[in-house]
Amino acid sequence: MAGKQKRILVAGGGGFLGTHLCRLLLEQGHEVFCVDNFSSGSRGNLEHLEDFEKLTVLEHDVTEALPVKSVDQIYNLACVASPVQYQQDPIHALHTSAHGVNNLLQLALKNNARIFQASTSEIYGNPLTHPQTEDYFGNVNTIGPRACYDEGKRYAETLCMDYQRVHRVDVKIARIFNTYGPFMQPEDGRVVSNFIVQALLDRPLTINGDGSQTRSFCYVDDLIAGIHALMSSPRAVSGPINIGNPGEFTMLELADLVLELTGSSSKLVFNGLPKDDPVKRCPDISRAKRLLNWEPKVTLREGLEKTIAYFDDLLTHASKAQLASAQWSGNFQADKSRKAVS
Ligand code: UDP
């Protein structure tokens, strides 16, 4: 392996991004401590890693002091990221960001460890500039239903920079834009997983609002490469740095592409637009290109094809009980028979 083997703690390692990151670090030969409370992450997400002897999985909530004492690097990905899910327990979501980052920064300080903070495009709220550069301060409703996530992440950025100024902790902050790919949960509630699952089951695609709102979707492999490039950059590069794909699509365009790629005949149904749902979102990634020599490579079409194949396999092997479970019932019908997409 290139470089020295490190002891690396990945908080939120059982989540969608975490499981991809753990694999990369294990393949590089590092010792990985995956810490997760499995509220939105899943143990199933880690099954593909069970042959790696250097993986330790610890069921633990980052709002409590960490069970690992000696580390070289820390990645903080711990927080429920889906609006539907974090709004089910907004207080815990806020505490996860606030207390979690504090506990992890304390650990970084004690170990003189480099720490990565997964920040978010939600820092920009419903942005009034477009595309969003890192020096835009954002437009966040501090008392709205999304604030538990947005403000938690803003607090985390602030605390990271204060630990850097006061204690000289080596921090790295990425603002992650919408990401998709294998290991998203079918019940996640995000638009990409919802549309794919709905299309595969010939259920109506649920469009919020009139579908003209935009998002910029980054395939997970590109995102993980960006995070890793930031974590490997010189100490002076602490960010924040936008990591995302600047290809911008309306939700109607996304729905059309999912229908085309799945060959589904699902119809569209239109629901109300959730409160404070951003109208536009697109990253300016000039800083990432310049400082990290990073930019995404996977087109939305290519990434969706891979993601659809993943969900198709997942649904083909899902039991009737899973399809009928309360969590999955938003997207599934228990008695729905379906054919695999070829
Ligand atoms: N959305 C949608 N249908 C769904 C789920 C989400 O139209 O079934 C919309 C949602 O209102 C938002 C966009 O898709 O405008 C992206 O939502 P997501 O939750 O994936 O990400 P975020 O809002 O956090 O960017």
Q: How much is the pLDDT for 133? A: 98
Locus of tokens 């009928």: 324
Distance 191 CA to ligand 1 centre (A): 5
Using the CB atoms, write b or e for 306-322: b if 16+ within 10 Å.
ebbebbbebbeebeeeb
Closest residue by CA, ligand 1 atom 23 = 277
Ligand 1 pocket test: pick from 208, 253, 259, 300 the residue with the most ligand atoms within 8 Å of its Cβ: 208
Residues in contact with ligand 1 (CB, 6 Å cut-off): 82-83, 178, 190-191, 194, 206-208, 213, 215, 251, 274, 277
Per-residue pLDDT tens listing for the chain (342 residues):
456 899 999 999 999 999 999 999 999 999 999 999 999 888 989 999 999 999 999 999 999 999 999 999 999 999 998 898 899 999 999 999 999 999 999 999 999 999 999 999 999 999 999 999 999 999 999 999 999 999 999 999 999 999 999 999 999 999 999 999 999 999 889 999 999 999 999 999 999 999 999 999 999 999 999 999 999 999 999 999 999 999 999 999 999 999 999 999 999 999 999 999 999 999 999 999 999 999 999 999 999 999 999 999 999 987 766 665 545 534 433 223 333 332
> Atom of ligand 1 at shortest distance to CA of 195?
8
Q: Hey, whose CA ends up nearest to atom 21 of ligand 1?
A: 190
Q: What are the structural domains of the chain? A: 7-183+217-243 (3.40.50.720)
Residue nearest to atom 19 of ligand 1 (CA): 190
Ligand 1 atom closest to 190 (CA): 20
**Cα separation of 294 and 48, whole Å?**
27
Give which of 281, 178, 248, 179 is closest to 220, Cα–Cα.
179
> From atom 13 of ligand 1, which residue's Cα is the shortest distance away?
191
Q: Which residues contact 282 (CB under 8 A, 6 or more apart)?
A: 130, 131, 132, 177, 214, 216, 246, 248
Q: What is the pLDDT of residue 323?
A: 63
Is 149 an annotated catalytic residue?
yes
* pLDDT value for 331: 40
Q: Which of 251, 254, 273, 282 to probe ligand 1 with, by most ligand atoms within 8 A of CB? A: 251
The catalytically annotated residue of 149, 163, 180, 219 is 149
pTM for the structure as a whole = 0.93
How far is the C-alpha of 265 from the C-alpha of 143, rounded, in Å? 40
What pLDDT does residue 41 have? 83
In sequence order, what are the residues at sequence separation of 6 or more whose Cβ sits closer than 8 angstroms to the Cβ of residue 137?
A: none
